[in-house]
Structure 1
Amino acid sequence: MSAVLRDFFRAAALAGAAMTASGADAETTYKMLDFSQLDGWEEDNHAAALKVFLETCPDLKDQDWQNLCALAQAQAQTLAQEQGKAGARSFFELFFRPVLIEDGTPGLFTGYFEPELEGSRYRTSRYRYPVYRMPPEAKHSNPWLPRRDILTGPVMQGRGLEIAWVDDPVELFFLQIQGSGRIRLSDGGTIRIGYGGANGHPYRSIGTEMVRRGIYKAHQVSAQVIKAWVRRNPAAGRELLLHNPSYVFFREIRKIRPSKGPVGAMNRSVTTLRTLAVDPKYTPLGAPVWMEKGGETKMHRLMIAQDTGSAIKGAQRADVFYGTGDSAGQAAGRLRDPGRMVVLLPIQRAFALVPDEY
């Protein structure tokens, strides 16, 4: 490849929308790998990963991604059915290269899920905790009011900003952490809600605060432990939740089939155990990502970067989507495992980031 073309592709790689290196510091490193260096690569169900890739690749803007998406769409049936797993695997091996992106921080995988809450369209003696839309003025002020002022002051009262009312303030707090969910209505219906904006204040971990106060040791803290403590200590628990100034607003999602997952950062449904939430400063949204998760239950599989999260910061930091409901929440809440993630990039883009491989 000529120096002119190499410079062009490197510029595209570094300046593309939400591209890997934008905003990354000088410590970020890029290493080209071979597919044979991905532990368990040949055994994975690449056809399942290709199906998820096709959910969001039409939204990718850069030309190299668009070309690969069009090719995958044109050959989807052949790749996924006629040639089976081998066909889909060949697609990724032919048109992508694995790039290990590191920023000096060890890999860490956690989990997230779509909660289900009990609620009503109207306030009742049982359902009295509001799920709010974002006020218009909050969209133009960053930061806006902190959590304490939103929940204890008059600013939200009498404005019709409630999407629904739920029966558990603790589950509502964790719904905000997850960013999307379902509300099962008392009349038998269901409301799906997604992230609608935030007040702009930084997230403060309740678990970290409990450790600082000496309530628990770091290894004891989990979502289930926090919920149980807050319910046992309602007054102190309410005050503890207000320690986090960040507040998430929601919007009602009407056009997604019940069988589909919640809407992620790409405004498309995410997929159980195939979607990762990543830091788009390092990993472009929509990219395939090879995950090697350690821990008690190892998981080596091809994922698609389709979501983000306020706590997901770093080249080797990711959240695994576990699905909907209590069992998914329990599995996601237990996950805190080491490992590594390797981003699959279009060939020219990969070589632009790792010029020593020419």
Structure 2
Amino acid sequence: MKNQSCFSIILILLALLAGCTSKITESPGTVKQTDKPEIKLPDETRLSTHVVAHWPNLPGWSEDDLYAAWQAFKQSCSVLRQQLIWQEVCNAATNMQATDNKSLRMFFENQFTPYQVIANDGNKKGLVTGYYEPLLHGSRQPSEHYRYPVYGAPDELLTIDLGTLYPELKDLRLRGRLDGRRVVPYYSRAEIMSDPTILKGHELFWVNDEVELFFLQIQGSGRILLESGEIVKVGFADQNGYPYNSIGRILVQQGELPLEKASMQGIKQWGQLNPDKLPLLLEQNARFVFFRELPEDLSGPIGALGVPLTAGRSIAIDPRSIPQGAPVFLATTWPNTDKPLNRLMVAQDTGSAIKGGIRVDFFWGYGPEAASQAGRMKQQGSIWVLMPNSYTVPQLAQQ
């Protein structure tokens, strides 16, 4: 998938640099040139099939406590009601008077149709991981103790949105910077780490732990306990445009960690034991995340949908498979166990490593228990997306 993405980008940029005029045909994945042969782009716009299911097909559906999921879905509606297909169901959710579990189950069963998500390769199960909101220790001023900067987004960072010209690439945005009159890739993590002048003046905070800062970038949001005792919230602002590269996988490939210990906890422990090797390891993930300070009264970190996440009920998904904001029923197991974890979630976030037809990142919330669960979660799971009854898909199959 990653190689296909790079191939698509290269073809598009070559077409743009050639100065040719183009238009999008109705066939997804094809760019029609007015004066050149067709360029066939890999079709990445549809990663799964949605197959009509029935409520009894959803494992544990009748036992789930739906109140928190209903509240999370109402958060989604602040964005979804801008789309016609969601307006009726969002109005019904907002106007509900009875919110006991029986009434909420009736609401979802009357307003939605469940569709099992099946990956393009036919698989009905995929990977379920976890993420959380970490707590770091820091300061608004650098010192010998607080020397690792948390950066805000630099002014020179450009975002190149190809979705207007190429609708099938509406979720693809390139990052870069100007070098004279040329747009070139933005600086990699290795370049930023080796030259502090690149982002000088964009420091928001300084923290005391380089590994914790790295995982803050992976999680995308967190809290910082300042010397004054104040706790500030920071959230994702932007990123430098490079693909995510798992340092856990690198440690396994290099023989530094066995596969079963390549968890967040295992990587942190390795970093503490190998401080001299740590910078080189971190540089191998070229992706770098920039942050912004968030209002302190937010109920949770802001996800990609633009609404606060709900612990235990929000998930990150690939929007090429699941519509952002939609309710999603997840059937998986608790981290490192066979105990069923079946509950209604809401797709309110995305992530650079969350790619695929059936790929879920489970938001556990804030605190030590959330960190423990998220760090250990690497389960298999199935998902059903709940769509308004007016939703249709081509050649719908029946389960």
Do they superpose with TM above 0.5?
yes
Correspondence for 1:209 among 231, 243, 250:
250
Please report how far the alpha carbon of residue 318 of structure 1 lies from its aligned counterpart in structure 2 after TM superposition. 0.3
- Which has the larger share of helix? 1
Query: Residue in 1 aligned with 2:259?
Result: 218
Query: Residue in 1 aligned with 2:227?
Result: 186
Range 306-315 or range 289-298, more displaced = 289-298
Matched, 1:58 2:78: yes
Q: 1:43-192 maps to which residues of 2 (within 5 A)? A: 43-60=63-80, 61-75=82-96, 78-80=97-99, 84-103=100-119, 104=121, 105=123, 106-140=125-159, 141-142=175-176, 143-156=185-198, 159-192=200-233
Residue 289 of structure 1 aligns to which amino acid in structure 2?
V
C-alpha separation between the residues in 1 aligned to 2:382 and 2:94? 29
Is the 8 Å Cα contact of residues 45 and 320 (structure 2) preserved in structure 1?
yes
Query: Residue in 1 aligned with 2:58?
Result: 38
Matched, 1:281 2:320: yes
Bigger RCO of structures 1 and 2 (CA < 8 A, at least 6 apart): 1
Number of residue-to-residue matches in the alignment: 327
Matched, 1:23 2:39: no
Please report how far the alpha carbon of residue 282 of structure 1 lies from its aligned counterpart in structure 2 after TM superposition. 0.8
Please report how far the alpha carbon of residue 353 of structure 1 lies from its aligned counterpart in structure 2 after TM superposition. 4.4
C-alpha separation between the residues in 2 aligned to 1:237 and 1:262? 28
Query: Residue in 1 aligned with 2:38?
Result: none
- Secondary structure of 2:252's match? helix
C-alpha separation between the residues in 2 aligned to 1:197 and 1:138? 9
- Secondary structure of 2:71's match? helix
Residue 106 of structure 2 aligns to which amino acid in structure 1?
S
Residue 344 of structure 2 aligns to which amino acid in structure 1?
L
Is the 8 Å Cα contact of residues 52 and 274 (structure 1) preserved in structure 2?
yes
C-alpha separation between the residues in 2 aligned to 1:139 and 1:297? 46
Residue 328 of structure 2 aligns to which amino acid in structure 1?
V
Query: Residue in 1 aligned with 2:372?
Result: 330
- Secondary structure of 2:305's match? coil
Query: Residue in 2 aligned with 1:18?
Result: none
Please report how far the alpha carbon of residue 154 of structure 1 lies from its aligned counterpart in structure 2 after TM superposition. 4.1
Residue 344 of structure 1 aligns to which amino acid in structure 2?
L
C-alpha separation between the residues in 2 aligned to 1:286 and 1:29? 18
Query: Residue in 1 aligned with 2:343?
Result: 301
Residue 58 of structure 1 aligns to which amino acid in structure 2?
S
Residue 23 of structure 1 aligns to which amino acid in structure 2?
T
Please report how far the alpha carbon of residue 55 of structure 1 lies from its aligned counterpart in structure 2 after TM superposition. 1.1
Query: Residue in 1 aligned with 2:21?
Result: none
Query: Residue in 1 aligned with 2:307?
Result: 268
Query: Residue in 1 aligned with 2:277?
Result: 236
Query: Residue in 2 aligned with 1:252?
Result: 293
Residue 276 of structure 1 aligns to which amino acid in structure 2?
I
Is the 8 Å Cα contact of residues 274 and 321 (structure 1) preserved in structure 2?
yes
The alignment's C-alpha RMSD in Å is: 1.8
Please report how far the alpha carbon of residue 133 of structure 1 lies from its aligned counterpart in structure 2 after TM superposition. 0.5
Gapped runs of 5+ residues in structure 1?
1-13, 15-20
Moved >4 Å (runs of 4+): none
Is the 8 Å Cα contact of residues 318 and 354 (structure 2) preserved in structure 1?
yes
Residue 36 of structure 1 aligns to which amino acid in structure 2?
P
Gapped runs of 5+ residues in structure 2?
1-27, 29-42, 160-174, 177-184
Is the 8 Å Cα contact of residues 51 and 396 (structure 2) preserved in structure 1?
no
C-alpha separation between the residues in 2 aligned to 1:126 and 1:266? 36
Residue 24 of structure 1 aligns to which amino acid in structure 2?
R
For each residue in 1:51-110, what CA deviation from the matched residue of structure 2 results, as whole angstroms up to 9, or x when unmatched? 1110121201321212211121112xx231xxx111111111011111012113532111
Is the 8 Å Cα contact of residues 50 and 396 (structure 2) preserved in structure 1?
no
C-alpha separation between the residues in 2 aligned to 1:85 and 1:250? 38
Change (3 A) 1:154 1:323: closer
C-alpha separation between the residues in 1 aligned to 2:94 and 2:46? 32
Query: Residue in 1 aligned with 2:331?
Result: 292
Range 295-304 or range 159-168, more displaced = 295-304
Is the 8 Å Cα contact of residues 138 and 146 (structure 2) preserved in structure 1?
yes
- Which has the larger share of strand? 2
Query: Residue in 1 aligned with 2:396?
Result: 355
